[in-house]
């Protein structure tokens, strides 16, 4: 019954405190939110905990959600999750990353057609292996589309610091790509 509800009706039921509707919202979005959490947190258990906490927080704040069309519920839950992931990293995993001037040059990007042949899972594994701050900045900028100004505000760093950390992440990933292509 609840599987056939669109997001607008599902939210209305959740606002009424309908437990079955809340369970459906959780089931509907848990996998997507878990995948998002894994991009930000290396540890599987931490990602599961964050996914659970983000969905619970979304249900607690469901009255503040404004439906604006298909996909808006996921976008809203996604934003809650990203904010919680960034806060988690800032609180528990923040590591000072020294910036070196030569790290700020990102012109030497790999332009090899074979890069597209690298399996998606391998690329995600490399991203998840980045140090916490680099992984967060890389995800926020390259995947989630935030600007360096927004990232700086979220992480409490400078815009230049955000750009430098992104350059370090790219350099680290570039080395992994080079090794992979050399072995292939």
pLDDT tens column, 34-91: 999 998 888 889 999 999 999 999 999 999 999 999 999 999 999 999 999 998 887 7
pLDDT tens by residue, 86-123: 988 877 654 434 333 333 333 344 455 677 778 888 88
Q: How many CA atoms does the CB half-sphere of 5 hold within 13 Å?
A: 18
**For residues 16 and 177, what is the distance between their CA atoms, to the nearest angstrom?**
50
**For residues 108 and 131, what is the distance between their CA atoms, to the nearest angstrom?**
21
Domain end: 93, 114, 148, which one? 93
Q: What is the pTM of this model?
A: 0.70
The total domain count for the chain is 2
Domain end: 37, 70, 93, which one? 93
In which domain, by residue range, is 136 found? Answer: 101-183
- The reply to whether 80 and 129 lie within a common domain is no
Domain end: 53, 70, 93, which one? 93
In a domain, 55, yes or no: yes
Q: How many CA atoms does the CB half-sphere of 108 hold within 13 Å?
A: 13
- The reply to whether 41 and 23 lie within a common domain is yes
In a domain, 123, yes or no: yes
Which CATH number does the domain housing residue 61 bear? 1.10.1740.10
Smallest Cα–Cα separation from 89: which of 138, 151, 136, 50?
136
Matching residue, tokens 């996998």: 31
């Amino acid at each position: 019954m609840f599987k056939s509800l669109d997001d607008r009706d599902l939210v209305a039921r959740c606002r009424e405190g309908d437990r079955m509707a809340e369970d459906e919202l959780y089931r509907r979005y848990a996998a997507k939110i878990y995948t998002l959490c894994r991009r930000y947190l290396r540890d599987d258990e931490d990602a599961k905990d964050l996914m659970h906490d983000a969905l619970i927080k979304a249900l607690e704040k469901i009255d503040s959600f404004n439906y604006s069309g298909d996909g808006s519920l996921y976008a809203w839950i996604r934003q809650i999750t990203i904010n919680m992931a960034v806060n988690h990293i800032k609180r528990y995993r923040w590591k000072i990353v020294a910036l070196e001037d030569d790290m700020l040059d990102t012109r030497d990007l790999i332009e090899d057609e074979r890069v597209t042949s690298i399996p998606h899972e391998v690329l995600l594994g490399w991203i998840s292996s980045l140090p916490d701050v680099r992984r967060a900045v890389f995800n926020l900028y390259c995947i989630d589309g935030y600007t360096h100004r927004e990232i700086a505000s979220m992480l409490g760093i400078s815009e230049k610091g955000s750009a430098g950390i992104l350059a370090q992440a790219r350099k680290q990933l570039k080395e992994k790509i080079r090794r992979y292509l050399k072995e292939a």
